[in-house]
Amino acid sequence: MSDVKMLINGKLVEGDHKLKVVNPATEEVFSVVARASKDQAAEAVAAAKAAFPGWAATPIEKRQAIVTAIADVIHKNADELARLLTAEQGKPLTEAAGEAAWSEGYMRHYATLSLETKVIQDDENARVEMRRTPLGVVAGIVAWNFPLLLAVWKIGPALVAGNTIVLKPAPTTPVATMRFGELIKDVVPPGVINIIADENDLGPYLTSHPDVAKVSFTGSGDTGKRIMKSSADTLKRLTLELGGNDVAIVLDDVDVKKVAPKIFDAAFFNCGQVCMAAKRIYVHDKVYDAMADELTKIAGEAVVDDGTKQGTRLGPLQNKAQFEKVKGFIEDARKSGAKVFGGDRLDRPGYFLRPAIVRDVKEGSRIVDEEQFGPVLPMIRFTDTADVVQRANASPYGLGGSVWSSNPERARAIAEQIDAGTVWVNQHVNIGPHIPMAGAKQSGIGVEQTHEGLAEFTQVKVLNMAKA
């Protein structure tokens, strides 16, 4: 798909530059899209700023209706958007269709949220109200693993709260999001949603712009830290959903045959390119070998292929840089003496790696301590539950984690000790728009989803009125 345009001030705009987009399953360019110059980024911010007063004054019921209309557009064009997601991101078409459906569902949920005034005091002395008012222009910056879903995570609450937005997709996956912009052009008032593409050169401009009131970012911790620095001079509001090195703790009483497929899905969904994926698994010594054997069996049977082909379970890694990074993790593990099953590259074009189960590793190795963000699962033995909690919590990350046991209450007691924003019991990556999501430690700042997430896009305003 070529000639995909940007959305600026309600118009579809050619870029001052062009951006080539590579299909990771073929390593060939499949689309050339419009790419913004700094002047065009400035136009997008100016358009959002000009549209803000009118949009903020629009009754929330009308804003909710427009968010619902955007969900309708996603529904009507879900097949096209899913195919674009597979072409640019690499995920199997079934997962891409799921992303489109989730995007629609999240938007519909956002349209049900509202911002009620809270009466704090109302007596003979005074009436004190707390209101939530919109901030202004939001810069939404999106990662490449879920291009459309992450975009609506920012657009939905921003609009319901009364903000306008400039959205920047990742330069390796802009196509579906920009096509989405084309489809909603006539649904939203001009300037309320602006979508521009770059080549990783406009982020600092947006995050330091004096007319941007808030930055909502999903991506790596290193980039998140740069955004904090860039935003400091204007004290922008920030929501940063960053990386994770999510732990899964498997106790000695699990049914290995039952749990292993769930662990595999938790680790390898979207080729492991999920911020909340299980990225290191601590398994009790009593069931370690059986769990390793079962995971190895599942990995060996998993079909790795082009996401458009029926039966594909794992597609390619999304881009060459990530492909080389994950290869480096696997090579480092082999050199350190770990037992690695899989992890080899397919003998064909594309950024394909077979899923890797890595046995007999410990903390101190890169593959355990760092976020791999790929089809890799290191397995670490443990014998003492108090010890494993300490080891799990030693990570600087704290996005999510899980505990697995045939005794849910036993698992819960351990889950309550894990330092993470979300901890699951006997499941992993069970999320939804009705569940708040917040990273602990270096996995993020702020909350997404639910009323708590909506509040992140607002300013508290207290109206304190004396009574005569």
Please list, residue by residue across 119-132, b when 16 or more beta carbons sit within 10 angstroms of its beta carbon and e when fewer do. eeeeeeeeebeeeb
For residues 270 and 306, give the distance between their C-alpha atoms in angstroms, rounded to a whole number.
13
CA distances from 105 to 100, 111, 202, 238, 420 (A): 9, 10, 30, 25, 26
Catalytic hit among 241, 294, 448, 456:
241
Respond yes or no: is residue 241 known to be catalytic: yes
Q: Residue 106: count other Cβ atoms within 10 Å of its Cβ.
A: 21
Task: Name which of 450, 458, 423 is nearest 439 in CA terms.
Answer: 423
DSSP E strands, 219-326: 237-241, 246-250, 278-284
Tell the residue number behind the tokens 């969900």, with chain if given.
71
Question: The tokens 């379970």 sit on which residue?
Answer: 313
Contact, 149 vs 276, CB < 8 A? no
| 381 CB burial (10 A radius; 0-12, 13-18, 19+) | middle
- Active-site annotation holder among 43, 275, 371, 456: 275
Closest CA to 323 of 341, 346, 302: 346
Instruction: Specify the residue for token string 């202004």.
Output: 136
Pairing verdict, β 126-134 and 118-122: antiparallel
Cross-strand pairs, 462? 130
Q: Which two tokens stand for residue 283?
A: 């398994």
Annotated catalytic sites, by residue?
Answer: 241, 275
